[in-house]
Amino acid sequence: MKIWKTLLLVYRELDIHLPVGRDSVEPRRLRSSAAQTHFHHVASERELADALDSFRGFPHLVSELTGGRAGIEYEIVRPDHALTSLTRESSSRFWPSPDDTRADLDEFAPPGKYDSIFIFWPQRNLKNGTAVPCHAWGLAMGASESTNGATYAAIANAPSSAWENEARGEVWLHEWLHGVCAHFAQRGHVMPEHDADGGELHGYARSPTAGWTDYYRDLMSGNVLEDGKRFGIPADAWVA
């Protein structure tokens, strides 16, 4: 079994000024000049509990969907300060990139210590509806020097219903797979088009209880059919 050593950095508080304008997803009633630029969000205990409960389901999904060929060993660290920096992912969208978490990455996840790093951050104030403009619930990238050699993914806070409307741990698995698919692609294994995002494209249907896990199972065993061939991460690649 291949063990992926994993770190989750939990940022409960976000405190930042951003140059957002008309396409901010803030409610109109809150669009004063101050509300457009200052985001101060503190995740509630319920929001943290929902995220951590989902995260603790992630290792089981990895083991189940790889037939026991891969496993997750994780640690959770809660930095004692707010997240105060975000990076533009487009002209008007932002996310917590490795540059924004650099000090904590270097302190808690120096090169070689972990295979995968996750960031939890309070993108939204679920009480009043303000939110940092961001393309998706989760965003990810492959391992590189900037991530201290680990796959890197950021997951935002969300209503309880979002965590419950999928397999337990699925959003963490999904973002992790983006980095993992890049890892195996670099080793010569061909991924299906859009890798972890390719379920619907390849004819799979989302289950109201199991989400896209049927697709992920085939992706994680090299069995996604595309143009008459099967692509993904071959089962034996996990233990190579």
Q: Where are the domains of the chain?
A: 2-239
- Residues linked to residue 45 through DSSP beta bridges, in sequence order: none
Give residue 91's pLDDT: 77
Q: Say if residue 157 is exposed, middle or buried (CB neighbours under 10 Å; 0-12, 13-18, 19+).
A: buried
Q: Say if residue 28 is exposed, middle or buried (CB neighbours under 10 Å; 0-12, 13-18, 19+).
A: exposed
CATH of 2-239, one of 3.90.550, 4.10.240, 3.40.630, 3.40.390: 3.40.390
Give residue 33's pLDDT: 45
Widest CA span in the chain? 56
Following DSSP, what letter does each residue of 30-95 receive, concatenated? G-SHHHHHEEEEE--HHHHHHHHHHHHHHHHHHHHHTTTSEEEEEEEE--SS-B---EESSSS-EE
Cα separation, 154 vs 211, whole angstroms: 20
Segments of the chain scoring below 70 in pLDDT: 21-37
